[in-house]
């Protein structure tokens, strides 16, 4: 049976920054790796970065493998941060949530926008696509964590709070970058820049939300 490791008076401030940092490195970086490489390659015109980009583009499974490796690592770290045992269980459901979220219909909202919003600007369609993608992944992972705790309230709370906060942060970042003159569709590698930054921001926000929320439900389970 699953056991929950006891903790006394957890510091949610520490949980927040630890889970946020872990998600930033384990989820945000792998998801935006290609775009960061393109960004830095454009800035420095490095032959090494060009070869790395070509490698990832030719062998697409490498990027997917890094994505799922990061999800597994994040699950292990979240288990340690929250005090949930066994840790492998959190890692497994993280993989499942990341898999379902990555290939759910919500990741194709740009097709819906193009069909129902003819003439919509490129940056608007891209914002809809990226928001749908982030909502899908974060919602599925949050839902998986709640089901791990066998708690429907936790599942719905983690799924909705994390996805909505992550999407809100993404939209605000897109608007801010637009104000700085970085808009998808205007050239100068704007799309990789926006994607790289937004995936990191959404991972940070999602990590904090999931870390604090999951830890709270774990602690609540211990006192029942």
Higher pLDDT, residue 49 or 180 = 180
Q: Are 221 and 156 in contact (CB under 8 A)?
A: no
Instruction: State the average pLDDT over residues 111-139.
Output: 90
Instruction: List, as one string, the DSSP characters of 96-140.
Output: HHHHHHHTSGGGGHHHHHHHHSTT--HHHHHHHHHHHHHHHHHHH
Give whole-number Cα distances, 174 to 8, 99, 124, 129, 194, in Å. 40, 25, 10, 12, 7
What's residue 65's pLDDT? 92
Q: Is the pLDDT of residue 5 over 60?
A: no
What's residue 2's pLDDT? 45
- pTM for the full predicted model: 0.88
What's residue 169's pLDDT? 96
What's residue 201's pLDDT? 96
For residues 25, 77, 67, 61, the Cα torsion angle rounded to the nearest 10 degrees is: 130
DSSP H helices, the chain, are 12-23, 29-31, 33-44, 47-58, 60-82, 87-102, 109-116, 122-148, 152-179, 190-222
Rounded CA separation 36/129 (Å): 19
Task: Specify the residue for token string 């872990």.
Answer: 22
Q: How confident is residue 29, by pLDDT bands cut at 50, 70 and 90?
A: very high
Task: Specify the residue for token string 């066994």.
Answer: 86
Mean pLDDT for all residues in the chain: 89
What's residue 108's pLDDT? 86
Q: How confident is residue 96, by pLDDT bands cut at 50, 70 and 90?
A: very high
Q: Is the pLDDT of residue 1 over 70?
A: no
Tokens for 66? 């890094």
Q: How confident is residue 9, by pLDDT bands cut at 50, 70 and 90?
A: low
Nearest to 191 by CA among 103, 130, 144, 114: 130
Q: Is the pLDDT of residue 210 over 90?
A: yes
Gyration radius of the chain over CA positions: 18
- pLDDT digits 0-9 by tens, 35-80: 999 888 887 778 888 899 889 888 888 988 999 999 999 999 999 9
Q: Is the pLDDT of residue 8 over 60?
A: no
């Amino acid at each position: 049976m699953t056991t929950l490791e006891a903790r006394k008076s957890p510091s949610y401030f520490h949980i927040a920054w630890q889970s946020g940092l872990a998600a930033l490195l384990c989820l945000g970086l792998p998801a935006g790796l290609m775009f960061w490489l393109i960004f830095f390659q454009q800035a420095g015109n490095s032959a090494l970065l060009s070869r790395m980009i070509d490698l990832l583009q030719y062998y697409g499974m490498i990027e997917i493998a890094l994505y799922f490796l990061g999800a597994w690592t994040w699950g292990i770290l979240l288990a340690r941060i929250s005090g949930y045992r066994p840790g492998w269980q959190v890692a497994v459901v993280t993989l499942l949530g990341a898999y379902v979220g990555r290939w759910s219909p919500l990741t194709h909202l740009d097709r819906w926008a193009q069909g129902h919003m003819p003439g919509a600007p490129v940056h608007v369609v891209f914002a809809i696509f990226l928001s749908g993608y982030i909502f899908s992944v974060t919602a599925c992972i949050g839902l998986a964590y709640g089901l791990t705790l066998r708690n429907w309230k936790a599942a719905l709370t983690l799924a909705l709070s994390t996805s909505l906060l992550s999407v809100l942060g993404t939209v605000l970042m897109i608007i801010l970058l637009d104000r700085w003159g970085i808009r998808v569709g205007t050239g100068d590698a704007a799309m990789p820049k926006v994607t790289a930054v937004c995936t990191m921001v959404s991972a940070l926000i999602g990590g904090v939300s999931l870390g604090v929320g999951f830890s709270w439900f774990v602690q609540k389970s211990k006192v029942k």
